[in-house]
Structure 1
């Protein structure tokens, strides 16, 4: 009887959080469409200028922020299970950097493929290569949490150096503007770019329904196999899905860090580790967090806007340091 009550309480907590996350996302989204250089009140008369601002500028940018936030948060939650590391995250581990490197290589050497779809394919390949490197290091070398993080940080630094060198020797103004975008920005979002969102959506939904499989993987490979899970096949599918989400997120908004670290980790601490609930809640929370962060990026300065990656880093870096210290103290 006590066990069933415990299960009921857990489900109730998740349900309450789901309602809170949906309400928060709706409120932030409404505020997002209103604020900016021109404030648009929902009670004012609609003018052609207001209609253009909302439909052509703010709404596609809002949907981009939602897609990126959900993708990065779910990717982080899956990586934490795959690598057995609560500190795993696409930005921290250099996976987002790998995606950006491939995009820059395409831009420089195969400019004919410098389209939203071409960028996404390049970003997915880069993210996949870096993910495979990390998974291989984690399994073959049996790296500790600290060493795996150091390897990921080193890969991120290397990718950042490649991108910086490439842009340093470029005289093209558009490439220098792209450097700002790679710092993390959804300022250039348009309806055309939502071709990528349509590609991300099925992968995101598929991952959100893989919570029970991830719950079994958390028990260890031996137990997962005994429960009928083809561990190798599932791992490859998850790696490919994460690479698609991270690559698509980088192609849409550049390198935006710490969303995939902060959101799933705080959810685990607050509500539990049941991935069948955690993954969809991570998607909702990641979307809400990135919409809120982009509101800050857009409205903090009068004559310009902050890179979105700077805002998420400012939020996530202190939490990351706290997590590192907490993880060290627990050993």
Structure 2
């Protein structure tokens, strides 16, 4: 079997994978739009109530779920490569904690801004602030990748401590809002909140264009430098991009865990390490998982909704345990 035949065979395999994941996301999205307390058939003639329900409630919520899933999965794939740790995930460097802290500041420090838009802005600015703090500390102290990871963990612990204090001093209504946010929630997302998608899409596209550099980085820093990669620039730009993706996700739907950890790792197990395919497949798989989880969250209870973060954690935790038990290369 010659090299050209192997390459052709791999291309066919990747094309099948893209077709499968595109079909999966399309199918789940169609069920998402159709199913609920009121079943809607989008391609039939709709009543005015059905049109309002489809266009004003389910459609923006679906777009939010797709954006969140793609962003978290791609951010996870990038961080796992940068940190050379397949168990890394976006929250591990404190970005999700910073977003949660921003929401707490809005809820308790700026109560007049306590609205969906205010929470979204607070979460986004919190994630960005923690990222800038991480970059500043790491740059001043000239930290390597391992110590950068430890600083991120420390920032996450700091944010958790502040959130815990907020729990202790909050009243019943504020506590309920905070808990619902921290468990992940897509209910009530509206079109105006989706302006943040205009930031996410260009970042996702740019990250995909850096697939070749990420592949070179996996060979080791010395080899990557010999191949012309600016390691320092690539690392920090990618970290900022990951922070923006995670901050945008938390701003849209609260803290939703395990997507950035589980999805990229499973794609690697099934399809390999080539970032040209890993990144877009992770985006589609992550989007499919969050849409599916939110569909379950909407339909599981007849009297209300489950937080989508609880559903993703329930799905992701057993897979995470399986990853630890099954694979022995996490040293």
CA distance in 1, matches of 2:74, 2:191: 24
Matched residues in 2 for 1:233 and 1:92: separation?
21
**1:316 is matched with which residue?**
316
Kindly provide the CA deviation profile for residues 297-328 of structure 1, in whole angstroms up to 9, marking residues without a partner as x. 11011101111111111111111112222344
Question: What is the aligned residue count?
Answer: 327
CA contact (8 A) 1:79 1:88 kept: yes
| Partner SS, residue 304 of structure 1 | coil
Q: Which runs of 5+ in 1 are unaligned?
A: none
The root-mean-square deviation of aligned C-alpha atoms, in Å, is 2.8
2:278 counterpart of 1:274: no
Give the CA deviation at 1:159. Answer: 2.8
Separation (CA, whole Å) in 1 of partners of 2:275 and 2:145: 27
1:123 aligns to 2:127 (yes or no): yes
In structure 2, distance between residues paired with 1:152 and 1:317: 21
Quote the Cα distance in structure 2 between the aligned partners of 1:307 and 1:134: 35
Aligned to 1:60: 60
Cα distance change of structure 1 residues 6 and 220 upon mapping to structure 2, 3 Å threshold: same
Matches within 5 A, 1:1-331: 2-42=2-42, 44-92=44-92, 94-110=94-110, 115=118, 116-129=120-133, 140=144, 142=146, 156-171=156-171, 173=173, 176-328=176-328
Q: Which moved more, 1:5-14 or 1:285-294?
A: 5-14
Q: Could you tell me whether the CA contact under 8 Å between 1:99 and 1:122 is conserved in 2?
A: yes
Report if the CA contact (8 A) 1:124-1:246 is conserved.
Answer: no
Q: Secondary structure at the match of 1:91?
A: helix
Q: Would the alpha carbon gap of residues 141 and 88 (structure 1) be closer, same or farther in structure 2, given more than 3 Å must change?
A: closer
Distance 1:138 1:70 in 2: 31
Name the SS for the 2:91 alignment partner: coil
Cα-to-partner distance string for 1:111-168 (whole Å, 9 max, x where unaligned): 566633454223322355458779999954847xxx96x8866654543342232133
Residues 165-223 of structure 1 show CA distances to partners (whole Å, capped at 9, x for unaligned) of: 21331237256324302211111211111111111111111112111110011111111
Partner SS for 1:38: coil
Consecutive unaligned residues in structure 2, runs of 5 or more: none
TM-score (norm 2): 0.89
SS at match of 1:75: helix
Q: How many Å apart are 1:98 and its aligned residue?
A: 2.6
SS in structure 2 of the partner of residue 50 of structure 1: helix
CA–CA distance in structure 1, aligned partners of residues 218 and 329 of structure 2: 22
CA contact (8 A) 1:96 1:127 kept: no
Q: Against the structure 1 CA distance between its residues 138 and 190, is the aligned structure 2 distance closer, same or farther, given a 3 Å change threshold?
A: farther
Per-residue CA deviation, residues 73-105 of structure 1 (Å, 9 max, x unaligned), is 000000000000011111355431232113322
